[in-house]
Amino acid sequence: MTPTNLTKRKTPDADIQEIYGGWRLSIEKGAAATYRLAQLDNYSQLTRGSFPHKEPLRIELSARTSVSTSPGTWGFGLWNDPFGFSLGFGGTPGRLPTLPNAAWFFFAAPENHLALKDKFDGNGSLAGVISSPRIPSPLLALMAPALPFLALLATSRLLRRTAAKIIRQDQASLAHDVTEWHEYTIIWKEGSVEFEVDQQPVLKTSLAPSAPLALVLWIDNQFAAWRPDGSMASGTLATPTDSWVEITNLNLN
């Protein structure tokens, strides 16, 4: 089934165009000072508890991008929109933060470092799952007094190791040419997720996200990093040239 209820969200320096059987999501050339986002999703008007997707679910689509390394991030898949603000990818203003759950293909420029476990790459072309317990947002707010201590590298490293035990991740790095057309598949089952590129398995994991989740397709120029040494950074990157991702043949069943 091709979803027909996708919401377009874009900044002034971005565009979403309908193309042959899909869309082109693009961000314009520009300086680092400006945030640029083009996104399609099916959750922006919903509460998290009303997100539309649970297992079992199969997502198939074809995609290519204009440049091998796009500034910021781009990708497609499922998540729970955990951020009530922007942190490396778009959040929904007014929505309280929660712990992340996701199953997606995620492509991140070198400035990013989004893996909590040191054995995983923090950027590049990735297929991955994030699985977190469903902790109510008001309880998470009780952790806010600890945030200033993230400026201390030793404390930040400790908190990062603690976060890795709570927010579990599994992922695989990919080596294909993203500027060429490829078929991407996510198969979400109870207790497992499988990822395929061109019908070839790239990751099968017993780690699964917690439902309900929503569909997101995006490209932006943001970055976020929480590195193994404890240092943190986030912001927007310059876009040397117009960058886009084309997505066609989207099917959910």
Closest CA to 176 of 113, 128, 125: 125
- What pLDDT is stored for residue 92 in this prediction? 61
Q: Please tell me whether residue 160 adopts helix, strand or coil conformation.
A: helix
Strand pairing of 200-205 and 102-108? unpaired
Give tens-digit pLDDT for 20-52: 899 999 999 999 999 999 999 999 889 899 999
Q: Do 112 and 124 touch, CB atoms closer than 8 A? A: no
- What pLDDT is stored for residue 147 in this prediction? 66
Give tens-digit pLDDT for 44-94: 889 899 999 999 999 999 999 999 999 999 999 999 999 864 444 455 655
Give tens-digit pLDDT for 150-202: 778 898 999 899 999 999 999 999 999 999 999 999 999 999 999 999 999 99
- What pLDDT is stored for residue 94 in this prediction? 59
- What pLDDT is stored for residue 35 in this prediction? 95
- H/E stretch holding 22: strand 22-27
- May I ask the CATH architecture of the domain 7-252? Sandwich (2.60)
Half-sphere exposure of 150 (CA within 13 A, CB side): 18
Any idea which of 69-78, 98-107, 145-154, 216-225 has the lowest mean pLDDT? Answer: 145-154
Closest CA to 32 of 221, 218, 245, 220: 221
Average pLDDT over residues 219-244: 95
- What pLDDT is stored for residue 138 in this prediction? 62
- What pLDDT is stored for residue 93 in this prediction? 53
- What pLDDT is stored for residue 44 in this prediction? 84
The whole-chain average pLDDT of the chain stands at 91
pLDDT at 212 over 90: yes
Alpha carbons 91 and 44: distance in angstroms, whole number: 9
Contacts of 32 (CB under 8 A, 6+ apart): 221, 235, 236, 237, 238
Alpha carbons 96 and 84: distance in angstroms, whole number: 5
- Sign, CA torsion 222/226/227/233: positive
- What pLDDT is stored for residue 132 in this prediction? 95
The structure's pTM equals: 0.92
For residue 26, list its beta bridge partners: 15, 244
Alpha carbons 192 and 190: distance in angstroms, whole number: 6
What are the sequence ranges of the domains in the chain? Answer: 7-252
- What pLDDT is stored for residue 219 in this prediction? 97
Residue with tokens 């995620």: 106
pLDDT at 141 over 60: no
Average pLDDT over residues 194-212: 98
Alpha carbons 235 and 214: distance in angstroms, whole number: 25
